[in-house]
Amino acid sequence: MNIYAMLQDKLQAIREEAVAAFKAATSSKDLYDQKVKYLGKKGSFSELMKEMGKLSKDERPKFGQLVNEVKNTLEDLFKELTDALKEKELNASLEDERIDMSLPGNRMRLGKKHPINMVIDELVDIFSRIGFSVRLGPLIERDRYNFEALNIPADHPARDMQDTFYIDEQHVLRTQTSPIQIHSLENESLPLRVLGPGAVFRSDYDVSHLPMFHQIEGILVDKEVSMADLKGILAYFAKEFFGPNVKIRLRPSFFPFTEPSAEVDCSCAVCDAKGCRMCGHTGWIEVAGCGLVHPNVFKEAGLDAEKWQGLAFGMGIERLAVVKYGVRDIRLFNENDMDFLGQF
Ligand code: DAH
C-alpha cells in the first residue's frame, strides 16, 4: 500500500474514533476534553500532520485538504453536540434548583425593646411628668463618687453591704446609681429634680442577683423638702407603674446618704395584697430605698446644708420588672432567649 492510502486510512480511523468519542461524551466538559484530545495542539490530527512529510509534493496539499475537511466536520459535530449537552445540563440544573413555593419559609422575628429598657422608659415617662429629667453617670466611678461623697468613708461598714468590683485603688464599677446624685449636685443649679437610670455592678450571682443589673436613682433638691413630699412622689409612682389601687408604706431603714432613711413597700399588685408567692404571702413587696438627703452629702458637694433640703430614692429595675411581669428567675433577662423576650 502506498503512503498516501495508508495516511488516508489512518485519517479515516481517527475520524471514526473521534466521532464515536464525541458521541459518547456525557457532559459538555467531557466533550470538550475529547475535542482537545483529537483536535488540540498535541492531538491526534497534529500527530498525523507530522507524517505528511512522507508524502510527495503534489500529494501534500491534497491530503492537507482532506484533513481540513475531516477537522471541519468534527468541529461541526462538536458544536452540535455541545449545544445539545448544554441545553440538557441547563434543564437539569433548573429542575434541580427549582423552588418549591409551597414550602414554609424561615420565619423572620421582629426585634423589640428589652423588658428592662421598657421599664426604664416607663419610669422616665412617669417621673418626667412631675418635672424630673434624666442624667446618666459613668459606669466606672472614682471611689469618691461611689462611696466617700455619699457619706460612706473608707472604713464604713456600709461598704460591705455591696460586693464591689475594683478597677484599681481609686476606681470601681459603680455599685449603685447614687453617684449620679453627686454629679448632679456638683454640676447643676438648684433647685433640681434628676432621674438617673443605668447599669450597676456587684460581685454576686444567683436566682435573684446578677453581677450587672440596673437601678434608677431619683433626687429632688429645693428649699423645703419633707418626708411627706417623698411619700407623695413614691405613692404617685406606685399607682402609675403598678396600677391605681396600689398602696405604699415606708419602713424605717438605714442608708448612709439619707437621714431619715426608709424602705418602700408596695401592696402586691399580683394578688391585690391578699398574699401570694410573689409577695411571700405578706401582701407587700419591697421596691425601693429612700430618704432625705444627708447634710454630709450636701457638704461633700460643696453646698450649704442649712439652705438646701432634698429627697432621694433608688430602685432596682430588674426587681420592678420581675414584680410587674411575674418573672421567676431574673437571670432570664440576660439570656437573650427570643421566646422569653418575645412575651413582653
Ligand atoms: N443606693 C442604694 C442601694 O443600692 C439604694 C438607695 C437607697 C438609693 C436610698 C437612694 C436612697 O437614693 O435614698 O442599695
71: number of Cβ within 10 Å: 17
Of the two residues 54 and 314, the one the predictor is more confident about is 314
Whether 184 lines ligand 1, by a CB cut-off of 6 Å, is: no
pLDDT band at 98 (very low <50, low <70, confident <90, very high): confident
Whether 141 lines ligand 1, by a CB cut-off of 6 Å, is: no
Residue 256 has pLDDT above 70, yes or no: yes
How far apart, in whole angstroms, are the C-alpha atoms of residue 187 and residue 166?
25
User: Residue 161 carries which side chain, given as an amino acid letter?
Assistant: M
Which stretches of the chain are DSSP H helices? Answer: 3-24, 28-39, 44-50, 59-96, 115-128, 143-146, 179-187, 227-242, 295-300, 317-325, 338-341
- Please tell me whether residue 217 adopts helix, strand or coil conformation: strand
Question: Which of 213, 313, 318 maximizes ligand 1 atoms within 8 Å of its Cβ, making it the mutation to test the pocket?
Answer: 313
pLDDT tens digits, 119-168 = 999 999 999 999 999 999 999 999 999 999 999 988 887 676 668 999 99
Atom of ligand 1 nearest to the CA of 181: 12
Q: Pick from 210, 19, 49, 221: which is nearest to 131 by CA?
A: 221
Atom of ligand 1 nearest to the CA of 218: 12
Domain ranges across the chain: 3-96, 115-341
Protein residue with least CA distance to atom 6, ligand 1: 314
pLDDT tens digits, 194-222 = 999 999 999 888 877 889 999 999 999 99
How far apart, in whole angstroms, are the C-alpha atoms of residue 164 and residue 175?
6
Which option is the CATH number for 115-341: 3.40.50.300, 3.30.930.10, 3.40.50.970, 3.30.70.360? 3.30.930.10
- The confidence score (pLDDT) of residue 53 equals 86
Whether 289 lines ligand 1, by a CB cut-off of 6 Å, is: yes
Q: Could you tell me if 217 and 178 are in contact, meaning their C-beta atoms sit under 8 angstroms apart?
A: yes
Whether 176 lines ligand 1, by a CB cut-off of 6 Å, is: yes
Protein residue with least CA distance to atom 3, ligand 1: 176
pTM comes to 0.71
Q: What is the mean pLDDT of residues 307-316?
A: 98
How far apart, in whole angstroms, are the C-alpha atoms of residue 125 and residue 209?
26
Question: Which of 127, 255, 259 maximizes ligand 1 atoms within 8 Å of its Cβ, making it the mutation to test the pocket?
Answer: 255
pLDDT band at 111 (very low <50, low <70, confident <90, very high): confident
Protein residue with least CA distance to atom 5, ligand 1: 314
- The confidence score (pLDDT) of residue 212 equals 94
How far apart, in whole angstroms, are the C-alpha atoms of residue 209 and residue 337?
19
Q: Tell how far the Cα of 165 is from the centroid of ligand 1, in angstroms.
A: 18
> Which residues lie below 8 Å from residue 230, measured CB to CB, with a gap of 6+?
290, 291, 292, 311, 313
Q: Tell how far the Cα of 216 is from the centroid of ligand 1, in angstroms.
A: 9
Q: Tell how far the Cα of 252 is from the centroid of ligand 1, in angstroms.
A: 13
Question: Which of 184, 225, 234, 257 maximizes ligand 1 atoms within 8 Å of its Cβ, making it the mutation to test the pocket?
Answer: 257
Residue 1 has pLDDT above 70, yes or no: no
Q: Tell how far the Cα of 217 is from the centroid of ligand 1, in angstroms.
A: 7
pLDDT tens digits, 66-90 = 999 999 999 999 999 999 999 999 9
- The confidence score (pLDDT) of residue 309 equals 98
Q: Pick from 157, 139, 114, 134: which is nearest to 256 by CA?
A: 157
How far apart, in whole angstroms, are the C-alpha atoms of residue 166 and residue 309?
32
Whether 179 lines ligand 1, by a CB cut-off of 6 Å, is: no
Residue 344 has pLDDT above 80, yes or no: yes
- The confidence score (pLDDT) of residue 161 equals 64
Q: Pick from 256, 252, 251: which is nearest to 162 by CA?
A: 256
Q: Tell how far the Cα of 255 is from the centroid of ligand 1, in angstroms.
A: 7
Q: Tell how far the Cα of 199 is from the centroid of ligand 1, in angstroms.
A: 14
Whether 217 lines ligand 1, by a CB cut-off of 6 Å, is: yes
